[in-house]
Amino acid sequence: MGKYFGTDGFRGEANEVLTVEHAFKVGRFLGWYYGQDHKARVVIGKDTRRSSYMFEYALAAGLTASGADAFLLHVTTTPSVSYVTRTENFDCGIMISASHNPFYDNGIKVINGKGHKLEAEVEEKIEAYIDGEIGELPLAKRDQIGRTTDYVAGRNRYVGYLISLATRSFEGIKVGLDCSNGSAFMIAKSVYDALGAKTYVINNEPNGLNINLNCGSTHIDVLKKYVKDNGLDVAFAFDGDADRCIAVDENGNEVNGDLILYICGKYMKENGRLNGDTIVTTIMSNLGLYKACDKAGLKYEKTAVGDKYVYENMVKNNFSLGGEQSGHIIFSKHATTGDGILTSLMVMEVMLEKKMSLAKLTEEVKIYPQLLKNVRVTDKKTARENPAVVKAVEEVTKALGDDGRILVRESGTEPVIRVMVEAETDELCEKYVDQVVDVMHAENLAVEA
């Protein structure tokens, strides 16, 4: 990870960590970088945060000052920016969003012309320009100054694309959608209405301050209650920029990314559409997923945490399906990034084609209880490699055997060690997590928050 760009773009509190000056410089560099041998074309989308508007204008100003043309999708989803970028011949795309973070944070995600996350070497050059390590870039003059164009038509074409993916009508099905007061509010209901569903929508009145606030994929209890109160057949919750999807079955039970990977992976394998009969997961996926995959003859790969690493593995090995427990699911035939609304449509396809409820489809997977505790430390590497900690982890691993696992890893964004245990009961999870955490405290590795 670089100084400003992490695994998911340049993110932080608006006007504190990420400022309009940063956005302007990102625009200036991208406009110049992609416009060295032609007039660059860059498409911009944003979520519903109050600060997204000022960043949109700052980016557009930087781009046009460098001679690029900026095309504004306005409020839209991250996957829609990726789709428009790769299908409509843009040099790159920019999404203004901090995903599932609170409203006061924001971020700049840059997508290359193939719809993938921007290459690390280009991010490094942007950072060097922001820090003044690269000389000032030339300003466009006269008729070379770029233009800004309203491009809502691009978003509408993406909506049409989603509708085209459905294999059957949703007529008569009661579907709930939690739009997280974010980007999905502009798109999700339109798609489901067009497909004939009886659509029930909550948290689709954004005011700039309520994005992700007690709603969406990170606060699934709201939707679980809504499903039961309204007798819905199925429901889906998205995050702020709609690249995640968490489902809820007809009984009000959560169906997370692991379960979605299982039901879609098994269905695709049965239909000869799962390359290598393999799904790509991260090291945080539940042990219950792997045990169910073994029984179903599904193979799996494990990557580091982050949809970026999932997609890299998928591209390298030509795999069809991958994702994270958090609901970032990638269907490589249809998209180059996680797409919450697309994921929901794929789940609907499995339900309709197999004529089974979501609860029935997921009953083969026994999700193991999982407990994660964060320990704030002075030095992550020292804490993780401490001999007493290593010994404690080995003892827990031996005690759990094949009926659980422990994972100790460094946070990528904080001075924190994450200790996670999966076991057959909540009590065992608590016991074994504390066994390792207590050693960290006894070794004076932990610090007060």
- Kindly list the distances between the CA atom of residue 162 and the CA atoms of 99, 179, 358, in Å, as whole numbers in the listed order: 21, 16, 21
Given 99, 183, 217, 285, the catalytic residue: 99
Strand partners, 11: 107
How many C-beta atoms lie closer than 10 Å to residue 288's C-beta? Answer: 19
> Is the four-CA dihedral 158, 163, 164, 166 of positive or negative sign?
positive
Laid out side by side, the sheet with 234-238 consists of 198-202, 174-178, 234-238, 245-248, 254-255
The whole-angstrom distance between residue 79's C-alpha and the CA centroid of its chain comes to 10
Q: What is the largest CA-CA distance in the chain?
A: 72
Residue type, 299: K
Residue 402 marked as a ligand binder: no
Which bin fits 346, alpha (ψ -120 to 50), beta or left (φ > 0)?
alpha
Note whether 68 and 39 are within 8 A (CB). Answer: yes
**Which stretches of 139-277 are assigned E, i.e. beta strand?**
148-150, 174-178, 198-202, 234-238, 245-248, 254-255
Which pair of tokens denotes residue 221? 């209890």
How many C-beta atoms lie closer than 10 Å to residue 322's C-beta? Answer: 30
The whole-angstrom distance between residue 328's C-alpha and the CA centroid of its chain comes to 4
Residue type, 122: V
Burial 41-79 (b: 16+ CB within 10 A, else e): bbbbbbbbbebbebbbbbbbbbbbbbbbbbbbbbbbbbb
Q: Is 116 exposed, middle or buried (0-12, 13-18, 19+ CB in 10 A)?
A: middle
80 labelled catalytic: no
Which pair of tokens denotes residue 424? 């057959």
Residue 99 marked as a ligand binder: yes
- DSSP3 helix / strand / coil % (the chain, rounded to 5): 40, 20, 35
What are the residue ranges of helices labelled H in 211-256? 221-230
Q: H or E element: which one contains 65? A: helix 52-65
| Residues flagged as binding site for Mg(2+) | 99, 239, 241, 243
| Residues flagged as binding site | 99, 239, 241, 243
Q: Show which residues are catalytic.
A: 99
